[in-house]
């Protein structure tokens, strides 16, 4: 039973985008358009080159922002404001997910490569306000992105949580490598599983997986 692997967990860390809401909401379609527009303006390049750089920096540096800061010295503030100024109309409250997160013993936090302000908007739109003890964005990591271990260490130190007593829920498999190495239990939340040594569990249904942790319901594997 999956619940036995989480009996020691006292801190529950959730990614935001495509983790606390289903990928079908496609919020990143909006964000990517804004990213490309920002790169076009900031670097004076056309749309094709901006899109290429956006993808290249994401792959090499963890986020487009990290690449823009490293290579071009871009100020993160205006970038983060522009790319996250999106409509959340496609998000709906999820009472089942709210109940399952609220039932978790110990500390519950959100950690995203977006901003804490954006996280608060998404959490509210999903009907999850009040169930988390803290919301952390990339600014709390000194603008260093997941998957960098130093980013996780900064946020966890600020929160005071012990990775050895924590679990990480994340849609991007590469962002689970550092948590695994730090001693966390890792859960890949995505429609399709991906096999990797740093992924302990997979689920396409976060609420269902969390329900399984009380031992009375079936969860992910």
**Peptide bond connecting 84 to the previous residue in cis, omega within 30 degrees of 0:** no
185 in Cβ contact with 5 (< 8 Å): yes
Q: For residues 53-76, give the mean pLDDT.
A: 94
- Spatial distance between the Cα atoms of 202 and 191, rounded to a whole number of angstroms: 9
| Mean pLDDT, the chain, whole residue set | 94
Q: What was the pLDDT predicted at 217?
A: 39
pLDDT at 202 over 70: yes
110 in Cβ contact with 140 (< 8 Å): no
The closest alpha carbon to 100, from 92, 110, 108, belongs to: 108
Q: Which of 25-39, 84-98, 156-170, 206-220 has the lowest mean pLDDT?
A: 206-220
The closest alpha carbon to 59, from 156, 172, 142, belongs to: 172
Q: For residues 41-59, give the mean pLDDT.
A: 95
Would you identify the CATH topology of the domain 2-23+92-212? Rossmann fold (3.40.50)
27-83 in CATH: which number?
1.10.150.450
| φ, ψ for residue 96, nearest 5 deg | -65, -45
Q: What was the pLDDT predicted at 216?
A: 37
Q: For residues 167-191, give the mean pLDDT.
A: 98
Residue spans of the domains in the chain: they are 2-23+92-212, 27-83
pLDDT tens per residue across span 107-164: 999 999 999 999 999 999 999 999 999 999 999 999 999 999 999 999 999 999 999 9
Q: For residues 8-30, give the mean pLDDT.
A: 97
Please list the alpha-helical segments (H only) found in 103-185.
116-125, 149-159, 177-181
108 in Cβ contact with 133 (< 8 Å): yes
pLDDT band at 221 (very low <50, low <70, confident <90, very high): very low
**Burial state string for 65-90 with b = 16 or more CB within 10 A and e = fewer than 16:** bbbbbeeeebebeebbebbbebebee
pLDDT at 187 over 70: yes
Q: What was the pLDDT predicted at 1?
A: 81
């Amino acid at each position: 039973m999956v619940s036995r692997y989480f009996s020691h967990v006292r801190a529950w860390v959730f990614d935001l985008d495509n983790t606390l809401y289903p990928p079908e909401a496609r919020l990143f379609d909006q964000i990517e358009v804004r990213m490309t527009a920002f790169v076009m303006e900031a670097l004076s390049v056309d749309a094709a080159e901006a899109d290429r750089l956006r993808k290249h920096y994401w792959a090499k540096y963890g986020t487009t922002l990290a690449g823009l800061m490293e290579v071009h010295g871009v100020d993160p503030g205006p970038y983060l404001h522009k790319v996250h100024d999106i409509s959340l109309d496609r998000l709906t409250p999820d009472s089942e997910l709210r109940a399952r997160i609220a039932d978790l013993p110990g500390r519950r936090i959100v950690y995203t490569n977006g901003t804490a302000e954006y996280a608060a908007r998404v959490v509210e739109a999903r009907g999850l306000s009040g169930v988390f003890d803290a919301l952390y964005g990339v600014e709390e990591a000194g603008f260093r992105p997941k998957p960098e271990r130093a980013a996780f260490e900064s946020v966890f130190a600020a929160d005071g949580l012990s990775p050895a007593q924590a679990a990480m829920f994340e849609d991007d498999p590469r962002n689970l490598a550092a948590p695994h190495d730090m001693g966390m239990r890792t859960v890949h939340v995505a429609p399709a599983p991906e096999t990797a040594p740093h992924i302990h569990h997979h689920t396409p249904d976060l609420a269902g997986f969390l329900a399984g942790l009380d031992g009375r319901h079936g969860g992910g594997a």
